[in-house]
Chains A and B, each alone.
Chain A
Amino acid sequence: MRQESHAKERLLDRIREDRLVTRRDYLRLLVTVSGGLLAGTAAVASGVFRRHGEGATESRKVANDVAVGESFTFSYPGEDDPAIGVRLDDGSLVAYSSVCTHLACAVLWIKASGELECPCHDGLFDVRTGEVLAGPPPRPLPRIELEERPDGIYALAVTR
């Protein structure tokens, strides 16, 4: 009888041990999470996340001409870097990455309002500066420097 009770007690102990997590286990888990966050930040710093315009080293012709108030789309510096250019009312040219800084939807030129709009979440950008005017985008649009030459419009570089 006594032997049976002892065996039962041992079984209960084993079940309890399997289920319980000690304070030290919690502490070890938290330190592991801390190391993971450090690794994540190191990955960010090492350039795992690609930024628009990285590797832009040379100028490229992106359009022949564009009328006042009209827009044109192009890719710069790579084929996977969509951009949008606009000829403003005063005749100046501006261009930005057309990838919204919120969730990467395409940014469109709305001629009626004179703003760049991301239709996915109603993000609005100032067409003269690329700054966020409204909506959830956290950062301005990367700006693409343009130059007008006799034979067309050239993209020169990407600035943030």
Chain B
Amino acid sequence: MNQWHGRRDPSGSARDHPDVAASLNARIAVVALIIVCQLWALTAALDAWLGGDTGAVWWLLGFQVLAFVSAVVISRAAPRS
């Protein structure tokens, strides 16, 4: 039985739906992993730029675009409660 008696659950709607909560947790974990990879790519791009390797910078920028689009898609595809 819903303890909030029809009112909005202040902790978010995921509390009442373990499957939705698990899905959101998994999405957070995947996006966090993407961010770790993006942090690496940013430092690698700065190092390549200062070292004169401009070609590598453009490849890393492409990777960043791909990573960001993936994060947006993963976020947008989250199940609604």
Contact = CB atoms under 8 A, between A and B. Distances in A.
Interface of A: 13, 16-17, 20, 22-28, 30-31, 33-35, 37-38, 40-42, 44-45, 49, 51, 101, 138-139, 142, 160
Contact of A34 (B7, B14, B47, B71): B71
A139 B51 contact: yes
B34 A34 contact: yes
Contacts of B46: 44, 49
Given A25-B12, A27-B24, A31-B72, 14 more contacts: A16-B10, A22-B13, A23-B14, A23-B21, A23-B24, A30-B32, A31-B68, A31-B71, A34-B35, A37-B35, A38-B64, A41-B42, A41-B57, A142-B52
A139 B64 CA distance: 23
Interface string B1-45: 000000110111110000001001101100110110011011001
Interface of B: 7-8, 10-14, 21, 24-25, 27-28, 31-32, 34-35, 38-39, 41-42, 45-47, 49-52, 57-58, 60-61, 64-65, 67-68, 71-72, 75, 78
A89 to B, nearest CB: 29
Contacts of B7: 13
Given A27-B28, A27-B31, A44 B38 contact: no
Contacts of B45: 41, 44-45
Q: Chain B at the A interface: mostly helix, strand, loop or mixed?
A: helix
17 contacts: A13-B10, A22-B11, A24-B78, A26-B28, A30-B32, A31-B31, A34-B34, A34-B71, A37-B38, A37-B64, A38-B38, A38-B68, A44-B57, A45-B57, A49-B49, A101-B50, A139-B51
A41 B41 CA distance: 8
Contacts of B57: 41, 44-45
B60 A41 contact: yes
Contacts of A16: 10-11
B43 to A, nearest CB: 10
Given A27-B31, A139-B51, A160-B51, A34 B38 contact: yes
